[in-house]
Amino acid sequence: MAWFRRKTRERGLHRPSGTVVRSSTFISRLIFILSLLGGLSLLIGFIRFGDQVTALRTPSGPIRADGAAALTGGSDQRLIAGVKLVESKAVPRLLISGVNRVTTAKEVRAVAGGAEETYACCIDMGRRATDTIGNAEEAAIWVQVHQIRTLVVITDAYHMPRSLFEMRRAIPDVTLIPYPVQSTREFDGDWWKNERPTRALALEYGKYLVSLGRGLLEGDGEIVVKQIGLLHKGKTR
- What the chain holds in terms of domains, given with CATH numbers, is 62-185 (3.40.50.620)
Measure the CA–CA gap between 177 and 84, rounded to whole angstroms. 16
Q: Tell me, what's the pLDDT at 28?
A: 73
Q: Tell me, what's the pLDDT at 117?
A: 95
Q: Tell me, what's the pLDDT at 65?
A: 97
Q: Tell me, what's the pLDDT at 93?
A: 98
How many other C-beta atoms are found inside a 10 Å radius of the C-beta of residue 116? 10
Q: Which residues of 94-159 form beta strands (DSSP E)?
A: 94-97, 123-126, 150-156
Q: Tell me, what's the pLDDT at 70?
A: 98
Spell out the residues 6+ positions from residue 216 whose beta carbon is closer than 8 angstroms to its own.
224
Judged by DSSP in three states, 112 sits in helix
Encoded amino acid at 97, one letter: S
Q: Tell me, what's the pLDDT at 101?
A: 92
Helix 195-217 and helix 17-55, axial crossing angle in degrees, nearest 10: 110
Q: Tell me, what's the pLDDT at 184?
A: 63
The secondary element (H helix, E strand) that includes residue 181 is strand 175-181
Contact indicator for 54, 191 with CB cutoff of 8 Å = yes
Contact indicator for 135, 154 with CB cutoff of 8 Å = no
Q: Tell me, what's the pLDDT at 233?
A: 60
Measure the CA–CA gap between 56 and 230, rounded to whole angstroms. 13
Low-confidence residues of the chain, pLDDT below 50?
A: 1-13
Helix 17-55 and helix 221-233, axial crossing angle in degrees, nearest 10: 70
pTM: 0.81
Q: Tell me, what's the pLDDT at 221?
A: 84
Q: Tell me, what's the pLDDT at 8?
A: 43
How many other C-beta atoms are found inside a 10 Å radius of the C-beta of residue 74? 16
The secondary element (H helix, E strand) that includes residue 136 is helix 132-145
